[in-house]
């Protein structure tokens, strides 16, 4: 997992001009400096932070045991959830794809990313880079799936994943929460 993250970081750094051009194409003249500062740099910093804390996060953690159960011990062993769904908004698509993808890959999960229909150029560029990165380390090609399309394409996601992450507006977040309620899919919402 550590090597996958390091490889992802190298791929992102070596392709940042291509990424910035794709973002510019989606946003019709967004400043490359803004994209670099608001999307590429925080994504690289997130990967660095994950790499730095990786061992501590994966280490089993002790929990208290009542005196009634002595001499027993109690530990939490962290395990992958399975398939993590990520619904990404249009405004900062790169940062909002890379952060959950790097966290999910680090944790040993497969990922399904529903990208915004308003960021089609950049999301196709990210998909090619991520798939190339996976192929280079010998990871399964279907470890990361990218779903393109309108809102309806993401509506079925809660029924297909083990955990769902959404970043975006409160209004859409409430809809995502309702969609995830029926199959009891755990959701992480942020705005």
Assigned token pair, 126 = 């990210």
Nearest Cα to Cα of residue 107 among 78, 136, 137: 78
Q: Residue 52 region, left (φ>0) first, then alpha (ψ -120 to 50), else beta?
A: alpha
Contact (Cβ atoms closer than 8 angstroms) between residue 92 and residue 23: no
What is the per-residue pLDDT for 18?
Answer: 85
Mean confidence (pLDDT) of the chain: 86
CA-to-CA separations, 178 to 100, 135, 150, 169, in angstroms, rounded: 21, 36, 18, 14
Q: Read off the pLDDT of residues 140-163 as tens digits, 9 standing for 90 and up.
A: 778 888 888 887 778 888 899 999
pLDDT-based confidence at 136, cuts 50/70/90?
Answer: low
What are the DSSP E strand ranges found in the chain? 61-63, 74-76, 83-87, 110-114, 144-147, 163-167, 187-190
Q: What mean pLDDT do residues 5-20 have? A: 85
pTM of the model: 0.81
Neighbours of 81 (CB within 10 A): 14
Higher pLDDT, 118 or 67: 67
pLDDT confidence of 84, banded at 50, 70, 90?
A: very high
Q: What would the pLDDT profile of 164-176 be if each residue is shown by its tens digit?
A: 999 888 998 899 9
Distance CA 160, CA 103 (A): 19
On the 0-12 / 13-18 / 19+ scale of CB atoms within 10 A, 61 is exposed
pLDDT in tens, 43-61: 899 999 988 998 888 899 9
Which pair of structure tokens corresponds to residue 165? 């992450």
With tokens 């229909």, the residue in question is 117
How many CB atoms within 10 Å of residue 190? 10
Tell me: pLDDT of 37 over 80: yes
Per-residue pLDDT, 168: 84
DSSP 176: H
Average pLDDT over residues 19-31: 83
Does the pLDDT of residue 137 top 70, yes or no?
no
């Amino acid at each position: 997992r550590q090597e996958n993250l390091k490889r992802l970081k190298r791929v992102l750094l070596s392709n940042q001009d291509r990424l910035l051009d794709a973002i510019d194409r989606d946003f019709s003249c967004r400043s490359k400096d803004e994209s670099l500062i608001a999307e590429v740099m925080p994504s690289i910093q997130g990967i660095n932070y994950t790499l730095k804390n990786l061992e501590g996060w994966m280490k089993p953690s002790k929990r208290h045991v009542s005196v009634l159960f002595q001499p027993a011990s109690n530990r939490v062993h962290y395990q992958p959830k399975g398939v993590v769904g990520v619904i990404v908004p249009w405004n900062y698509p790169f940062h909002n794809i890379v952060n959950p993808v790097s966290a999910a890959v680090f944790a040993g999960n497969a990922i399904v990313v529903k990208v915004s229909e308003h960021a089609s150029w950049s999301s196709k560029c990210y998909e090619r880079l991520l798939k190339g990165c996976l192929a280079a380390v010998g990871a399964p090609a279907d470890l990361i799936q990218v779903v393109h399309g309108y809102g309806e394409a993401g509506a079925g996601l809660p029924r297909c994943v083990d955990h769902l992450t959404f970043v975006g507006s409160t209004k859409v977040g409430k809809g995502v929460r309702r969609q995830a309620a029926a199959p009891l899919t755990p959701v992480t919402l942020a705005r």
